[in-house]
Amino acid sequence: MDDLNKNVAGAEAASEEVEKKSLVVVSACAARFFKTSLGGLTFYDSKKGKDWNLKSSVCVDFVNLIGKKFSRSGRIYGYVDPGIVSAAENFSNYCTNADFNAFVTGVMDRLCHEANDPARRSLSEGYVVFAHYQDFQERDHVLVVMLGKKGGYDFDDNDNLTPKGTESLNLQDFRQAACMDLTAFASSFPENKGEAYLYFIKGNSKSEFFNAALGCSDSIPGKVCVDNLKSALAAYFVEEAKDLSAADRRKIHTRVVNYIENRAGERVHLSEIQREIDKCLPSKSPHHGGLTKFISENSERFKVSEEFQPSSVTAKNMGFVDVKLPSGDFDGRIKLDAVAIGDKGADLSVDKDFVYLTIKLPSDVSEKLKGIGAENI
| Per-residue pLDDT tens digits for 228-252 | 899 999 999 999 999 999 889 999 9
75 and 202: one domain?
A: yes
Structural domain including 350 reads 339-376
119 and 235: one domain?
A: no
What is the predicted pLDDT for the residue at 50? Answer: 94
- Higher-pLDDT residue of 353 and 139 is 139
Half-sphere exposure of 350 (CA within 13 A, CB side): 11
| Per-residue pLDDT tens digits for 277-306 | 999 999 999 999 999 999 888 877 887 877
Q: How many domains does the structure of the chain reveal?
A: 3
What is the predicted pLDDT for the residue at 269? Answer: 85
* pLDDT band at 360; cut points 50, 70, 90: confident
191 and 54: one domain?
A: yes
| Per-residue pLDDT tens digits for 22-69 | 789 999 999 999 999 988 889 999 999 999 999 888 888 888 888 887
Q: What b/e readout covers 326-353, taking b as 16+ CB neighbours within 10 angstroms?
A: eeeeeeeebebeebeeeeeeeeebbeee
Has residue 145 been placed in a domain? yes
* pLDDT band at 153; cut points 50, 70, 90: low
For residue 259, which phi and psi values (nearest 5 degrees)? -65, -45
What is the predicted pLDDT for the residue at 5? Answer: 47
Has residue 94 been placed in a domain? yes
Q: Is the pLDDT of residue 97 over 70?
A: yes
207 and 164: one domain?
A: yes
123 and 227: one domain?
A: no
97 Cβ neighbours under 8 A, 6+ residues apart: none
Report for 97-106, 158-167, 190-199: range of highest mean pLDDT: 97-106
3-state class (DSSP) for residue 30:
strand
- Higher-pLDDT residue of 139 and 4 is 139
Q: Is the pLDDT of residue 15 over 70?
A: no
201 and 240: one domain?
A: no
| Per-residue pLDDT tens digits for 186-228 | 998 998 877 788 888 877 776 678 888 898 866 677 788 888 8
State the CB neighbour count (10 A cutoff) for residue 202.
Answer: 19
- Higher-pLDDT residue of 122 and 99 is 99
Has residue 4 been placed in a domain? no
Q: Find the radius of gyration of the CA atoms of the chain.
A: 26
169 and 238: one domain?
A: no
Percent of the chain with pLDDT over 70: 87
